[in-house]
């Protein structure tokens, strides 16, 4: 190993160590918060388990079974140990392990959020670039108004209006739900993502029916994603268009298209990766209202239903999974940032 390679390996090791410590502390903080929430909410897990007509002996036995008779620090250590093993308890509502329930419903949320993010990126990035390149013109104003509406109007209202117009009146799309009952179970659940499973099975009928159901909720969430991504793209592009290298490129005689789309967007793409990753994470954790409006059987609906039925074990387990996904996407965006920008590498 050369003398120059030793410091680089040391920097890489230190960077990896800091990343692991950061992730460990973040996960630990997430588990502490969820544990404390589970202890301060006005819901008695033992009473929820045995029912309000149970005898005192049955109630005390349930408390012992759940470990609620132990000191708080012992309860947390037990909770931490189970969580690190993937055991978030058993849902009172379904009678199944929470992690099993989450694995069953998460693909629906993943499918919806992914399609919405793709729509948001395909439409939002070009809109932001055009708005920045035409700053102050009517095109810029229109794009900014569209983004402002998408960012300000409640998503559940957009969902209800979308169902009223495109489903009830025009009948362009299918109604609530993920797929018609007639088509349920016709394709093997390889990935849990119906569109992908139908494509793998070569079943065009199920694929078209699933697409007909997902297009409206994905468009509603995609509009929200578009609003955020277009605004951030415009801001990043305006910052790049003020840089000296843009003036130099124009002096050299490069076309405006090359200056904007190749040079300015190329440099803005580095922080834009983080923006898109955060938007994706937000849709994964924040699509609750959309899932409720469209009866979408995803993680948001699962957590909401569990909360309404005082099933705090399921609520807290789902919350931990959402937090872990958010942490994972942040790590992925940071890694992509380092790959795209050599200046960020150790």
- CA 306 from chain centre, in angstroms, equals 19
Quickly count: other Cβ atoms within 10 Å of residue 206's Cβ.
23
Which two structure tokens, joined as six digits, stand for 284? 């994964």
Q: Where are the domains of the chain?
A: 5-83, 111-297
Look up the pTM and report it.
0.83
Q: Rounded to an integer, what distance in angstroms lies between the CA atom of residue 42 and that of residue 140?
A: 50
Q: What is the pLDDT of residues 206-259, one digit of tens each?
A: 999 999 999 999 999 999 899 999 999 999 999 988 888 888 888 888 888 888
- Alpha-helix residue ranges (DSSP H) falling in the chain: 5-40, 45-50, 56-66, 72-84, 98-133, 138-152, 155-162, 194-201, 204-241, 244-251, 256-257, 265-286, 288-293, 299-308, 312-340
Integer Cα distance of 112 and 51 in angstroms? 36
How high is the pLDDT of residue 263? 84
Residue 163's nearest CA partner among 212, 216, 225 is: 216
Q: What is the mean pLDDT of the chain?
A: 82
Q: What string of DSSP letters covers 57-121?
A: HHHHHHHHHHTTTS-HHHHHHHHHHHHHTT---B-TTTSSBHHHHHHHHHHHHHHHHHHHHHHHH
Average pLDDT for 152-169 = 88
What is the C-alpha separation between 63 and 54, in angstroms, rounded? 12
- Name the CATH topology of 111-297: MetI-like fold (1.10.3720)
Per-residue pLDDT tens digits for 251-290: 888 888 888 888 888 888 888 888 888 888 888 876 788 8
123-159 burial, b at 16+ Cβ within 10 Å, e below that, comes to bbbebbbbbbbeeeeeebeebbebbeebeeeebeebb
pLDDT in tens, 29-56: 878 887 777 777 666 666 666 666 767 7
Instruction: Return the pLDDT at 343.
Output: 55
């Amino acid at each position: 190993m050369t003398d120059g390679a030793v410091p680089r390996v040391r920097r890489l090791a230190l960077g990896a160590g800091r990343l692991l410590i950061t992730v460990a502390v973040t996960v630990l903080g997430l588990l502490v918060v969820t544990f404390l929430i589970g202890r301060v909410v006005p819901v008695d897990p033992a009473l929820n388990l045995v029912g309000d007509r149970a005898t005192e002996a049955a109630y005390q036995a349930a408390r012992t079974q759940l470990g609620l008779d132990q000191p708080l620090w012992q309860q947390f250590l037990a909770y931490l140990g189970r969580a690190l093993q993937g055991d978030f308890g058993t849902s009172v509502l379904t009678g199944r392990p929470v992690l099993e329930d989450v694995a069953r419903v998460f693909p629906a949320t993943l499918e919806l959020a992914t399609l919405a993010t793709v729509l948001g990126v395909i439409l939002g990035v070009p809109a932001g670039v055009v708005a920045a390149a035409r700053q102050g013109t009517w095109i810029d104003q229109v794009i900014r108004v569209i983004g402002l509406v998408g960012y300000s109007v409640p998503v559940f209202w957009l969902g209800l209006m979308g169902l009223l117009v495109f489903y009830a009146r025009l009948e362009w799309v299918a109604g609530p739900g993920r797929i018609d009952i007639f088509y349920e179970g016709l394709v093997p659940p390889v990935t849990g993502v119906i569109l992908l499973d139908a494509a793998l099975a070569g079943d065009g009928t199920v694929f078209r029916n699933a697409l007909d159901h997902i297009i409206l909720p994905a468009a509603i969430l995609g509009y929200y994603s578009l609003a955020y991504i277009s605004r951030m793209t415009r801001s990043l592009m305006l910052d790049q268009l003020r840089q000296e290298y843009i003036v130099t490129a124009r002096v050299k005689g490069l076309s405006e298209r090359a200056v904007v789309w190749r040079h300015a967007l190329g440099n803005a793409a580095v922080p834009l990766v983080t923006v898109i990753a955060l938007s994706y994470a937000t849709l994964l954790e924040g699509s609750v209202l959309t899932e409720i409006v469209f009866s979408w059987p995803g993680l948001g609906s699962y957590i909401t239903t569990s909360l309404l039925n005082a099933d705090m074990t399921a609520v807290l387990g789902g919350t931990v999974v959402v937090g872990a996904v958010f942490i994972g996407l942040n790590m992925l965006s940071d890694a992509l940032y380092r790959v795209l920008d050599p200046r960020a590498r150790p």
